[in-house]
């Protein structure tokens, strides 16, 4: 006969499943928290399904089941709530309106609400816009006078795989009839695992993995030992962005010496 779980145990089931997102792992972790026998997979899944649908682990009395009929009044209530709080999740919205998650999703469709995610942008300084315009004018003219110039530019950048509390767009949803185009300003120096890569019409250089936080000395070491042997005889324009490691004095001095007037970047010959 299946063991009847207490409220505390049901709450623990939900917490373990939410943490590990795996019923088998939640069952295995049970032994580290309780002396009772672990719940079976079906119990773990059904308990979490009930919590998702009702917002509670308790059995609801039949007379108090969530409303499933979407009346005109209920739709008006949901519409007003979403307009006032567009960041409510499906679970939160269903709980606040007293209906199931599936009914809430049907209501959102009927009301023509769609989920949108914010766009992450890097904060810019006031003079960045003028420098951008100047850069465009210079290079448009250079391209007009030299059709092969695009083949002599080496583009480079790093991808940062953040392991801190940086914004994850997939966890930020806004419900609206039209795209609200929300944006978050994010730091350009987030910590994490960093991977560098460079490319031109001749092909790819990289990827290069930084095992530590990227500093000026580490970035210069990569340029000297990994990048320069490939580029030194090809008379490339070297491009990188204005990250702190790229702007270190030792890096700028090395780039000025080896790329002279062929550097595209922060406060360089082509800013």
> What integer pLDDT is reported at residue 174 of this predicted model?
67
- CB burial readout 129-162, b (16+ within 10 A) else e: eeeeeeeeeebeeeeeeeeeeeeebbebebebee
Return d(Cα 157, Cα 242) in angstroms, integer.
10
Confirm whether pTM is higher than 0.75: no
| More reliable by pLDDT, 175 or 196 | 196
Cβ 82 vs Cβ 93: under 8 Å: yes
List 158's β-bridge partners, or say none: 196
Which residues fall within 8 angstroms of residue 120, CB to CB, at 6 or more apart?
Answer: 167, 169, 183, 184, 186
Q: Which long-range contacts (CB under 8 A, 24 or more apart) does 211-218 make?
A: 214/158, 214/243, 214/245, 215/245, 215/248, 216/244, 216/245, 216/247, 216/248, 216/249, 216/250, 216/251, 217/248, 217/250, 218/245
188 has a pLDDT exceeding 60: no
Highest mean pLDDT among 20-29, 117-126, 150-159, 161-170: 150-159
List 121's β-bridge partners, or say none: 185
Strand intervals (E) in 68-169: 114-116, 119-122, 153-162
> What integer pLDDT is reported at residue 154 of this predicted model?
92
112 has a pLDDT exceeding 60: yes
Class of domain 120-264: alpha beta
Percent of the chain surpassing pLDDT 70 = 84
User: Helix or strand or coil: residue 10?
Assistant: helix
Average pLDDT over residues 70-99: 87
List 156's β-bridge partners, or say none: 198
Domain positions in the chain are 7-63, 66-112, 120-264
Return d(Cα 264, Cα 238) in angstroms, integer.
6
């Amino acid at each position: 006969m299946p063991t009847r779980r207490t409220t505390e145990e049901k709450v623990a089931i939900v917490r373990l499943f939410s943490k590990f997102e795996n019923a088998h792992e939640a069952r295995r972790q049970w032994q580290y928290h309780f002396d009772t026998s672990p719940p079976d997979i079906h119990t773990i899944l059904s308990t979490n399904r009930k919590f998702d649908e009702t917002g509670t682990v308790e059995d609801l009395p039949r007379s108090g089941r969530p409303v499933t009929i979407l009346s005109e009044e209920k739709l008006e209530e949901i519409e007003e709530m979403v307009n006032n709080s567009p960041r409510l999740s499906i679970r939160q919205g269903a709980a606040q309106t007293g209906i199931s998650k599936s009914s809430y999703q049907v209501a959102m469709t009927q009301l023509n609400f769609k989920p949108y995610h914010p766009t992450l942008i890097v904060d810019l300084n006031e003079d960045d816009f003028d420098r951008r315009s100047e850069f465009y004018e210079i290079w448009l003219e250079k391209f007009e006078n030299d059709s092969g110039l695009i083949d002599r530019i080496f583009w480079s950048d790093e991808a940062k795989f953040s392991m801190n509390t940086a914004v994850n767009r997939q966890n930020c949803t806004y419900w609206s009839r039209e795209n609200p185009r929300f944006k978050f300003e994010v730091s350009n120096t987030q910590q994490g695992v960093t991977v560098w890569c460079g490319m031109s019409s001749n092909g790819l250089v990289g990827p290069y993995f930084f095992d530590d936080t990227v500093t000026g000395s580490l970035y210069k070491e990569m340029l000297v030992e990994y990048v320069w042997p490939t580029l030194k005889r090809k008379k490339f324009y070297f491009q990188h962005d204005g990250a702190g490691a790229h702007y270190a004095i030792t890096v700028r001095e090395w780039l000025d010496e080896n790329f002279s007037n062929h550097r595209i970047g922060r406060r360089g010959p082509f800013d």
